[in-house]
Amino acid sequence: MKPIYVLNGPNLNRLGKREPHIYGTTTLAEVEESCRAAAGEVPVVFRQTNSEEALINWVHEAIDEAAGVVINPAAFTFTSLALLDALKMVEAPVIELHISNIHKREQIYHRSYVSMRADAVIAGLGARGYPTAVRALLEMVG
């Protein structure tokens, strides 16, 4: 059984403390727990990095190893063509995830490079978006 990958970009290690009025008080450890619970017996590879290089390397790993990918690229969503190019190589389903509703935020957050590849986008559900994305991904991979 191939795992699902849940990949997280910069500053998400500060979840629960960083701007709780935008991102809530749920920690990344709690998010991971909710993803594993939503996945049931399907293995989950759950990672976070502040490095664009590491995130791209994990996407490369997922190309060969993952049943599907849930990715919250954080700021790299709006800046990284390299991440988009890596995601284009993923043949499995990809769900782009954002804790906040990026479309209600400042204009700089409205253009997602990742959306050019994502099969689905979840934004604005807070930390609840993660288990929702995991369940949706499991349905997509059937």
* CATH of residue 52: 3.40.50.9100
The amino acid occupying position 70 is: V
pLDDT of residue 69: 98
The answer to whether residue 113 is catalytic is no
Question: Residue 56 is part of which domain span?
Answer: 4-141
pTM: 0.95
Q: How many CA atoms lie within 13 A of 41 on its CB side?
A: 1
What angle, rounded to 10 degrees, do the helices at 52-65 and 81-88 form? 10
Which residue out of 23, 103, 110, 113 is catalytically annotated?
23
**Total domain count, the chain:** 1
Q: How far apart are CA 17 and CA 5, in angstroms?
A: 24
Cα–Cα distances in angstroms (integers) from residue 83 to residues 21, 60, 94, in the given order: 28, 10, 13
Q: Does the annotation mark 23 as catalytic? A: yes
Q: What is the pLDDT of residues 104-130, one digit of tens each?
A: 877 887 789 999 999 999 999 999 999
pLDDT score at 109: 76
The confidence score (pLDDT) of residue 46 equals: 98
**Residue in 5, 60, 98, 103 annotated catalytic:** 98
Using one digit for the tens of pLDDT, what is the confidence trace for 56-103?
Answer: 999 999 999 999 999 999 999 999 999 999 999 999 999 999 998 888
pLDDT on residue 92 = 98
Annotated binding-site positions for substrate: 72, 85, 99-100
One DSSP character per residue, 45-62 reads: EEEE-S-HHHHHHHHHHH
